[in-house]
Each structure stands twice: as C-alpha cells, then as structure tokens.
Amino acid sequence: MSDIYQYTDPDYVYTDPKTGLLRNLAGITAREDLLIAESGFSTKRAKELLKKPIKIKDSLSLLEIHKYLFQDIYAWAGQTRKAEIAKSGKQFFPLSHFRQAFLYIDTLLAEYRTLKKKDKKAVADKLSAILDTVNFLHPFREGNGRSQREFVRCLALEKGFMLNMNPPDNLDVYERYMKGTIDGDTKLLSDLILELLSE
C-alpha cells in the first residue's frame, strides 16, 4: 500500500471509513500491522507459486495470480478494481475501458507465443511490452506490482527462462523496475528483463 497513490472510493468499497485502511480478512486496523500481514501472506503464496506456477492461458490468468497471492488478506482478491487510481498525478486505465485493455493484452500474449524459444532478446522485448501494458491497466486495488511480476515470470517459463524480478537485497533491480513501470519506459524494462533472464 503506497501513499503516492490517489484513490476514488467515495462509497468505501475498499476502505474502512473509520481507519482509512483497506478492509481485510484479518480485521487489522493499524496501518503497520496491515503492511506486515499483507507482505507476509503474499510472500508465502509467492513461494508456493515458485514450486507450482499458474499456467497463463490468457489475460484473465492475471486475476488468477492475484487471487492466489492475496486470498488470505483481501476478500476481493482476483477481482478487478471498482475505483479509479492515479499515481503522481497520472491516472491509470479507466474502468470503462477494461474490456478493451484485457483484449489488447490477449493480443500481446498471442504475439508472444509466436516467438521462438530461447530467443532471449525477443522474449525480453515482448515481456517488456506486456509488463508495461499490464502496469498501465493497474487492474487491482492493491497488489498490482506483485501480480504483474509473477505474470511475466510465468510467461518467461513458457520460453524456457527463469525470471526473478524480486531478487533479495537488490535495490537496483527494484528501482529500475519502478522507474520503468512508472515512466512507461519499455526500453529500460526490456534491458532489465534481458539482464535477469536465465536458462
């Protein structure tokens, strides 16, 4: 959960009007406690996915990943957001255009599937485009980054590559990932993915 996001949630679909925090299955009412719980639950589930990744069928597999990662903490895990989101003054994809966005991601996935296995540069370029598109869509109220990194990790596996965009204690990777996604810099993201792909 980040303070640099701005949300429109006048009906308190996601937030508790008293605490301002996201409603959660654990009934947590303190911000720090929620951050710790959310991180702990999602990290545990992410480790499970390392052993048994979700098969990417289409763009809706992103919802399946989100549901798996956040099932322990949010009742709306795996559901697209019902609130508009902006970051640093830039609004993410509007809710009214979600259907078109998911169809476009399906087009990118179809193109990705035509790439030759082990073509590292082509894989990195297409994963960068997919990552940038999914990030701009920002389909969830919370947990977009973790879900999209798992999504592209699973896609890399299809082409015979390992991709770890969450290396422990590597602030440089995280900062480059954040800059690439915030700025929509697909070249930066492609270079980063190319560097991180391994057989």
CATH number at residue 44: 1.10.3290.10
For residue 171, give both structure tokens.
């602030």
Q: Tell me, what amino acid is at 140?
A: F
**98 and 59 Cβ atoms separated by less than 8 Å:** no
The residue-averaged pLDDT of 12-33 equals 92
> pLDDT-based confidence at 12, cuts 50/70/90?
confident
Q: Per residue in 125-142, pLDDT tens?
A: 999 999 999 999 999 999
For residue 3, give both structure tokens.
């303070």
Domain span at residue 92?
5-196
31 CA to centre of own chain: 22
Better-scored residue on pLDDT, 86 or 29: 29
**168 and 155 Cβ atoms separated by less than 8 Å:** no
Q: Tell me, what amino acid is at 117?
A: K
For residue 1, give both structure tokens.
């959960």
Domain count along the chain = 1
In 3D space, the residue among 37, 60, 48 whose CA is nearest the CA of residue 142 turns out to be 37
CA–CA separation, 63 vs 87, rounded Å? 21
Q: Model-level pTM?
A: 0.93
